[in-house]
């Protein structure tokens, strides 16, 4: 049986397939650093489409004169308990930025200060004395610790570039799972803060990415007409593999598994070209007789828990309200707001809160005034469990 990665493999190059066009396009957006031009990017796309893997590959292949930091907000301590705060994000961001200096011999001097710098901004003590001096950053006279912390962190990347122009032209900062910022008390304020710094920084690019639909509230807050970046961010959608890409991928990664032409077509239909589903489906298959249409369908339904493993995990992290909204929409198809509201026994306000959460997580879509769950794997899995167990997964 194949053993394709279900997360991001540590050996990126071994498993990374194609995406040449996307990488070339993204690199164009990052090519202006030498001339002091920095773009801000928003990379969107459904769950499992390959955003994180693509950006890690991009990061890895950046030229030597560009520094880069990667921060996955879902990995910040406390996030699972819904305790993500602005301070924690700033702290982790600073740590990620400092870590990125490690590989550059000319920046070792700053990197070696890492521990003492991090201690100075430790949320418990907030002892900033000297932190700015160490970095050559004048700290502004501001009132709150959070303002001090955020300006220290936000000024840092441009300062590193300015002080090392002979070897460094730009700094790329990737913020993954950025939709979690929607859980802050005031997400807009956070986006405005970043905007206010980046507008004077000509050599720093932020790439926001996460599983959220291009039409979600959080995308509006960051880049909508009234949002912090007011449409100035370049929005870059990542699409699933094409049919042809999927076939080439299978040929290259799992040559031992054979398909008839109809079997291949069915496989593409079942996975939608999402690399996450392609991988998890492949891992349930075995060599021998070529998979035809019927065999693919049978394999799909008999291994659905394994194929939809991503949703099994996400499902267990959702609140009862969120689960209920999903189930209503899976059973009823697309509903408008009043239809949806009539199906629940809580208030408009509560429904709004959880519907927005689901939108930010990229699970709920809102198109033409109708709400739907458009991930077919999530729908198939729920229906299948209901039919087999007699109830939806708890």
- CB of residue 185 to ligand ATP, shortest distance in Å: 24
Give me the half-sphere count of Cα atoms (radius 13 Å) on the Cβ side of residue 25: 13
- In the range 375-394, which residues lie near ligand ATP by CB under 6 A? none
- CB of residue 244 to ligand ATP, shortest distance in Å: 14
Binding at 49: pick from ligand ATP, Mg ion, none (beta carbon under 5-8 Å per type): ligand ATP
Q: Which tokens hold the place of 115?
A: 């521990």
Tell me if 240 contacts ligand ATP by CB under 6 A.
no
Q: Which is nearer to Mg ion, 52 or 205 (CB)?
A: 52
CA 264 to chain centre: 29
Q: Which is nearer to ligand ATP, 157 or 240 (CB)?
A: 240
Query: What whole-number distance in Å separates Cα of residue 336 and Cα of residue 309?
Result: 30
Query: What whole-number distance in Å separates Cα of residue 338 and Cα of residue 336?
Result: 6
- CB of residue 254 to ligand ATP, shortest distance in Å: 12
Tell me if 246 contacts ligand ATP by CB under 6 A.
no
Q: Which tokens hold the place of 173?
A: 């900062």
Contact 273, 246 (CB under 8 A): yes
The DSSP bridge partners found for residue 236 are 43
Contact with Mg ion (CB under 5 A) among 39, 44, 52, 179: 52
Kindly give the pairing relationship between strand 364-367 and strand 66-72: unpaired
- CB of residue 176 to Mg ion, shortest distance in Å: 6
Q: Which tokens hold the place of 199?
A: 């507008």
- In the range 196-235, which residues lie near ligand ATP by CB under 6 A? 211
Q: Residue 64 class from Cβ within 10 Å (0-12 exposed, 13-18 middle, 19+ buried)?
A: exposed
DSSP state of 254: -
Binding flags for ligand ATP, 249-278, as an x/- string (CB under 6 A): --------------------------xx--
Tell me if 361 contacts ligand ATP by CB under 6 A.
no
Contact with ligand ATP (CB under 6 A) among 2, 12, 15, 303: 15
- In the range 47-86, which residues lie near ligand ATP by CB under 6 A? 47-53
Contact with ligand ATP (CB under 6 A) among 19, 91, 361, 385: 19
Q: Residue 186, Cβ neighbours under 10 Å: how many?
A: 10
Query: What whole-number distance in Å separates Cα of residue 69 and Cα of residue 52?
Result: 13
Which residues lie near Mg ion (CB under 5 A)? 52
């Amino acid at each position: 049986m194949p053993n394709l990665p279900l997360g991001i493999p540590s050996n990126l190059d071994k498993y990374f397939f194609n995406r040449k066009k996307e990488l070339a396009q993204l690199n164009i957006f990052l090519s202006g650093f030498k001339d002091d031009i920095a773009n801000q990017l928003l990379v969107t796309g459904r769950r499992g489409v390959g955003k994180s893997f693509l950006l890690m590959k991009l990061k890895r292949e950046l030229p030597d004169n560009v520094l880069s930091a990667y921060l996955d907000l879902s990995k910040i301590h406390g996030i699972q308990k819904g305790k993500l705060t602005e301070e924690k994000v700033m702290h982790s961001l600073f740590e990620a930025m400092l870590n990125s200096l490690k590989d550059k011999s000319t920046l070792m001097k700053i990197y070696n200060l890492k521990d003492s710098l991090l201690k100075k901004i430790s949320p418990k003590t907030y002892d900033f004395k000297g932190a700015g001096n160490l970095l050559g950053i004048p700290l502004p006279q501001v009132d709150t610790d959070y303002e001090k912390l955020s300006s220290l962190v936000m000024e840092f990347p441009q300062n590193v570039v300015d002080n090392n122009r002979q070897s460094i032209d730009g700094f790329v900062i990737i913020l993954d799972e950025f939709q979690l910022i929607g859980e802050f008390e005031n997400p807009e304020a956070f986006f405005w803060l970043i905007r206010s710094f980046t507008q004077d920084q000509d050599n720093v690019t932020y790439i926001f990415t996460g599983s959220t639909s291009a039409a979600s509230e959080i995308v509006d807050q960051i880049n909508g007409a009234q949002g912090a970046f007011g449409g100035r961010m370049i929005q870059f959608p990542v699409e699933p593999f094409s049919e042809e890409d999927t076939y080439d991928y299978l040929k290259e990664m799992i040559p031992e598994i054979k398909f008839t032409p109809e079997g291949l077509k069915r496989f593409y239909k079942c996975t939608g070209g999402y690399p996450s589903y392609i991988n998890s489906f492949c891992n349930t298959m075995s060599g021998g007789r070529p998979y035809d249409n019927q065999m693919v369908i049978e394999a799909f339904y008999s291994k659905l828990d394994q194929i939809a493993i991503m949703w099994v995990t996400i499902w267990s992290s959702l609140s009862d309200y969120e689960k209920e909204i999903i189930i209503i929409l899976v059973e009823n198809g697309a509903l408008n707001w009043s239809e949806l509201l009539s199906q629940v026994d809580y208030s408009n306000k509560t429904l709004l809160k959880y519907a927005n959460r689901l939108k930010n997580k990229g699970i709920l879509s809102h198109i033409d005034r109708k709400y739907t769950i458009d991930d077919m794997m999530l729908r198939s899995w729920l229906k299948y469990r209901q039919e087999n167990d007699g109830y939806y997964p708890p």
